[in-house]
């Protein structure tokens, strides 16, 4: 079953009178700056094709003038494309008449703005329930729905406060609650956190991820911050000069940038919030089985130049770690691997983000064992692996 909610096909947006001439020049490979000099036409978007899936956070990132805001405004047809089409759940938005377009904007889509877009003469509750008021819901129903969303964004108890009493972060929470109150299928967020100070911004990013887990909304999020894009995005599209250069998951993009531009763009990103353990783990070179002799375990560690070995059972399920010191002492006293096995060790899964294990990796005496849901040993990741990923 196709779960695409927004589909963009060969979308272009040009501003200026000599558009056909500009299109011909663009097809010949002339860049947008030169085209503007020759024709006075600005190419805001060029031949953009995308598919956005139901329930994902899709982040569009680019520098100022890259076309990201122009693109998003085509999704609610605030911008009408020069060429190409936008489809919502298979329906071509360009074909909507005034009534259908009004219904689409009112019922299916909502927007959160950078500068809040709140009404100063209304209270927190009054702002939050505004969209439901436009829909014609009764005062009781819209008040109930608005209060539920305010509670979700952490503003319970602030319903009657005037907007001018709120901090920037609180105002943005009101804007988010207002957008969510109308229960849209699609939420457009145009650099909503860029006006906030760094600490509040981090709080809002976490808040958005928390809300997304509960409501599973489709969110299209615009930013110029690569760390924000990689933190929030299930998938990320990088734009340059009105074109989409690459679309991928944050990890795919980090590991396989299509162009030098993409590589340069993401070089400043904190990779630990993008890469998972599976991307850096290695196979341990010293593995022994629970039934092996201590002599065999000692020889294995010696041959590989290590001071510990990972112990597994016959099905490769992790049992613990054996150190060379314990193995030598136990061998002299006639004990077995089971007698001196260290069972309390740190483990993680391959899909854990490196950022989540930095603290553990910096203090653990052994590399962290990577296991699957059955506790089968899949690999190991050391402090060196984590730290090197931060600088790569």
* HEC secondary structure over 302-355: HHHCCCEEEEECCCCEEEEEEEHHHHHHHHHCCCCHHHHCECCCCEECCCCEHH
Question: CA-to-CA distance for 272 and 251, rounded, in angstroms?
Answer: 10
**Residue ranges, CATH 3.10.580.10, the chain:** 278-391
Q: What is the pLDDT of residue 256?
A: 87
C-alpha dihedral (303, 307, 313, 316), degrees to nearest 10? -80
State in Å, rounded, how far the first CA of the chain is from the last one.
39
Residues 6+ away with beta carbon under 8 Å from 260: none
Token couple for 66: 């890259």
pLDDT tens-digit profile, the chain (392 residues)? 579 999 999 999 999 999 999 999 999 999 889 999 999 999 999 999 999 999 999 999 988 889 998 999 999 999 999 999 999 999 999 999 999 999 999 889 988 876 667 888 888 888 888 888 888 888 888 888 888 889 888 888 888 888 888 888 888 888 888 888 888 899 999 888 877 777 788 888 888 888 888 888 999 999 988 888 888 899 999 999 999 999 999 888 888 889 988 888 777 666 666 677 887 888 888 899 998 999 999 999 998 888 999 999 988 999 999 999 999 999 999 999 999 999 999 999 988 888 788 888 878 888 899 999 899 999 898 877 776 665 55
Nearest by Cα to 66 from 221, 223, 242, 189: 242
Q: In the sheet that 318-323 helps form, which strands lie side by side, from edge to edge?
A: 287-289, 308-312, 318-323
CA distances to 271, 332, 351 from 337, rounded to whole Å, are 39, 12, 31
Residue 108 Cα distances to 55, 111, 255, angstroms: 14, 11, 35
Q: Which helix (H) or strand (E) holds 104?
A: none
Please report the pLDDT score of residue 362 as a whole number: 79
How is domain 4-270 classified at the CATH fold level?
A: Rossmann fold (3.40.50)
CA neighbor of 57 nearest in space, from 132, 117, 6: 6
* pTM exceeding 0.85: no
Start-end of CATH 3.40.50.300 domains in the chain = 4-270
Alpha helices in the chain (DSSP H): 19-27, 32-39, 68-75, 98-103, 124-128, 130-135, 139-152, 168-181, 198-215, 226-232, 250-255, 260-266, 294-304, 324-332, 337-340, 358-363, 383-391
Instruction: Look at domain 278-391 and name its CATH class.
Output: alpha beta
Let me know if 361 is exposed, middle or buried by CB neighbors in 10 A (0-12, 13-18, 19+).
Answer: buried
């Amino acid at each position: 079953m196709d779960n695409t909610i927004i589909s963009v096909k060969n979308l272009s947006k040009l501003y200026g009178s000599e558009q056909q001439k500009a299109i011909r020049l663009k097809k010949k490979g002339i860049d947008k700056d030169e085209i503007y000099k020759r024709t006075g036409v600005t190419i805001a978007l060029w031949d953009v094709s995308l598919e956005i899936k139901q329930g994902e956070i899709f982040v569009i990132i680019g520098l100022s003038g890259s076309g990201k805001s122009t693109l998003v405004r085509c999704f609610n047809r605030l911008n009408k494309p020069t060429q190409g089409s936008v489809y919502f759940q298979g329906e071509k938005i360009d074909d909507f008449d005034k009534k259908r377009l009004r219904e689409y904007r009112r019922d299916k889509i909502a927007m959160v703005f950078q500068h809040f877009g709140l009404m100063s003469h209304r209270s927190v509750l009054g702002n939050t329930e505004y969209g439901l008021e436009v829909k014609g819901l009764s005062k009781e129903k819209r008040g109930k729905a608005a209060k539920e969303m305010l509670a979700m964004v952490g503003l319970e108890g602030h319903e009657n406060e005037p907007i001018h009493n709120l901090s920037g972060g609180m105002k943005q929470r009101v804007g988010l609650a207002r957008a969510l109150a109308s229960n849209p299928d699609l939420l457009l967020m145009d650099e909503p956190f860029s006006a906030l100070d760094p600490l509040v911004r981090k709080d809002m990013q976490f808040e958005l991820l928390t809300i997304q887990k509960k409501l599973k909304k489709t969110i299209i999020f615009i930013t110029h911050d690569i760390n924000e894009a990689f933190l929030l995005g299930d998938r990320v599209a990088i734009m340059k000069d009105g074109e989409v250069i690459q679309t991928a998951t944050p990890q795919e993009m980090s590991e396989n940038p299509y162009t030098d531009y993409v590589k340069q763009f993401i070089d400043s990103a904190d990779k630990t919030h993008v890469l998972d353990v599976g991307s850096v783990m290695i196979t341990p070179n010293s593995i022994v089985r629970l039934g092996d002799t201590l002599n065999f375990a000692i020889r294995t560690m010696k041959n590989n130049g290590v001071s510990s070995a990972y112990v597994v059972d016959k099905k490769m399920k992790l049992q613990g770690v054996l150190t060379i010191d314990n193995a030598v002492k136990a061998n002299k006293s006639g004990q077995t691997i089971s007698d001196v096995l260290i069972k309390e060790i740190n483990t993680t899964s391959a899909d854990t983000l490196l950022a989540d294990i930095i603290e553990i990796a910096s203090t653990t005496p052994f590399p962290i064992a990577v296991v699957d849901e059955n506790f089968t040993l899949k690999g190991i990741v050391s402090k060196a692996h984590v730290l090197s990923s931060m600088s790569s």
